[in-house]
Amino acid sequence: MTLKNTSAVAHQGSGIVLESSINGQEATVDILSGSSLRSANEILYHKNETSNVTITDSEVSSAADVFINNIKGHLTVDATNSKITGSANISTDDNTHTYLSLSDNSTWDIKADSTVSNLTVDNSTVYISRADGRDVEPTRLTITENYVGNNGVLHLRTELGDDNSATDKVVINGNTSGTTRVKVTNAGGSGAYTLNGIEIISVEGESNGEFIKDSRIFAGAYEYSLTRGNTEATNKNWYLTNFQATSGGETNSGGSSAPTVAPTPVLRLEAGSYVANLAAANTLFVMRLNDRAGEMRYIDPVTEQERSSRLWLRQIGGHNAWRDSNGQLRTTSHRYVSQLGADLLTGGFTDSDSWRLGVMAGYARDYNSTHSSVSDYRSKGSVRGYCAGLYATWFADDISKKGAYIDAWAQYSWFKNSVKGDELAYESYSAKGATVSLEAGYGFALNKSFWSGSGEIHVDIPATGTGYLDGRRS
> What's the pLDDT band for 357 if we cut at 50, 70, 90?
very high
Q: Which residue has the higher pLDDT, 36 or 372?
A: 372
Which residues lie below 8 Å from residue 397, measured CB to CB, with a gap of 6+?
Answer: 352, 353, 403, 443
Which residues lie below 8 Å from residue 183, measured CB to CB, with a gap of 6+?
Answer: 153, 154, 155, 156, 214, 215
Alpha carbon distance, N-terminus to C-terminus of the chain:
57
Helix (H) or strand (E) holding 35: none
pLDDT tens by residue, 219-277: 999 999 999 987 777 889 999 999 886 544 444 555 555 555 567 899 999 999 999 99
- Contact between 242 and 194 (Cβ < 8 Å): yes
Q: State yes or no: pLDDT of 467 exceeds 50.
A: no
State the pLDDT at residue 248. Answer: 43
Helices (H), 244-368: 270-283, 289-292
pLDDT tens by residue, 421-453: 999 999 999 999 999 999 988 877 666 554 455
- Contact between 275 and 323 (Cβ < 8 Å): no
Percent of the chain with pLDDT over 70: 81
Q: State yes or no: pLDDT of 469 exceeds 50.
A: no
Q: State yes or no: pLDDT of 375 exceeds 80.
A: yes
For residue 464, give the nearest of 297, 286, 326 by alpha carbon: 286
Q: State yes or no: pLDDT of 308 exceeds 70.
A: no
Backbone angles phi, psi at 8, to 5 degrees: -140, 140
Give all domains of the chain, ordered by start, each with its CATH number. 2-265 (2.160.20.20), 270-467 (2.40.128.130)
Q: Which residue has the higher pLDDT, 63 or 333?
A: 333
- Contact between 105 and 88 (Cβ < 8 Å): no
How far is the C-alpha of 363 from the C-alpha of 141, rounded, in Å?
Answer: 57
State the pLDDT at residue 33. Answer: 80
Q: Which residue has the higher pLDDT, 310 or 83?
A: 83
Q: State yes or no: pLDDT of 463 exceeds 80.
A: no
Per-residue DSSP letter, 14: -
Q: State yes or no: pLDDT of 41 exceeds 70.
A: yes
How far is the C-alpha of 288 from the C-alpha of 409, rounded, in Å?
Answer: 9
pLDDT tens by residue, 71-86: 888 889 999 999 999 8
pLDDT tens by residue, 181-234: 999 999 989 999 998 899 999 999 999 999 999 999 999 999 999 999 877 778
Q: What is the largest CA-CA distance in the chain?
A: 123
